[in-house]
Chain A
Amino acid sequence: RKEVEQDPGPFNVPEGATVAFNCTYSNSASQSFFWYRQDCRKEPKLLMSVYSSGNEDGRFTAQLNRASQYISLLIRDSKLSDSATYLCVVKRGNTPLVFGKGTRLSVIA
């Protein structure tokens, strides 16, 4: 079993839609959680960190459920420019970032 599992996608949604991505992690010792965004043939870039209390950045909301070892990302009012692959990432202690396979989102006009 992979340490980080994500919805496989792809998600094809119309502009303005709300879309949610889910992610589960297997190591309960994981301490920090992130969503990275990766555009086609580009490098991953940090979208947002995920905090236990949940956090919001504009149209993006991230939630963490430590008991269920579950992370989510909600995108409201989707824009064409949101089309990308969203990578769920976890980290514990000094160990490296561990990435999920990613979920591909296509926002359609």
Chain B
Amino acid sequence: EAEVAQSPRYKITEKSQAVAFWCDPISGHATLYWYRQILGQGPELLVQFQDESVVDDSQLPKDRFSAERLKGVDSTLKIQPAELGDSAMYLCASSLDRAWDTEAFFGQGTRLTVV
């Protein structure tokens, strides 16, 4: 069964350091999302891509976060510098397209701990 791949699964970093997460969506999926989930909360959108273009990054803290999907396939999310409050699960999801009735599939996530 096709799945969304994310790495690393776990990351511990010191505050003020840079950290990067990688996501490889299901083949053929044009839409890719990065969500952040703080313990006890639901996932919250950081950025949405359609192919290589950003279509929604309104909730991305752009002073420290950046995301790219250069060839419209895999994607990287970067945080620089990391802060203690960035500790969370970072989830990547993909779907065939952005249509209202299209199912999104999630990767296993990267659990980030900032110390």
Binding site for B on A (CB under 8 A): 4, 31-32, 41-46, 49, 87, 91-102
Alpha-carbon distance between A99 and B37 when the two chains are bound, in angstroms? 10
Task: List the 3 closest pairs (A to B, CB-CB), nearest first.
Answer: A99-B42, A94-B98, A43-B106
Tell me how many residue pairs across A and B have CB atoms closer than 8 Å: 53
| Proximity bits, B94-107, A CB within 8 Å = 1, else 0 | 00001111011111
Q: Which residues of B contact A94 (CB under 8 A)?
A: 55, 98-100
Bin chain B's interface residue count.
20 to 34
Flag if A99 contacts B44 (CB, 8 Å): yes
Flag if A93 contacts B91 (CB, 8 Å): no
Flag if B41 contacts A101 (CB, 8 Å): yes
Flag if A43 contacts B107 (CB, 8 Å): yes
Q: Which residues of B contact A4 (CB under 8 A)?
A: 42
B48 at the interface (CB under 8 A from A): yes
Q: Which residues of A contact B55 (CB under 8 A)?
A: 94
Taking A46-B104, A49-B103, A91-B100 as known contacts, 13 extra A-B pairs with beta carbons closer than 8 A to each other, sorted by chain A number, are A31-B101, A42-B108, A43-B91, A43-B106, A43-B108, A93-B98, A94-B100, A96-B33, A97-B104, A98-B45, A101-B40, A101-B42, A102-B42
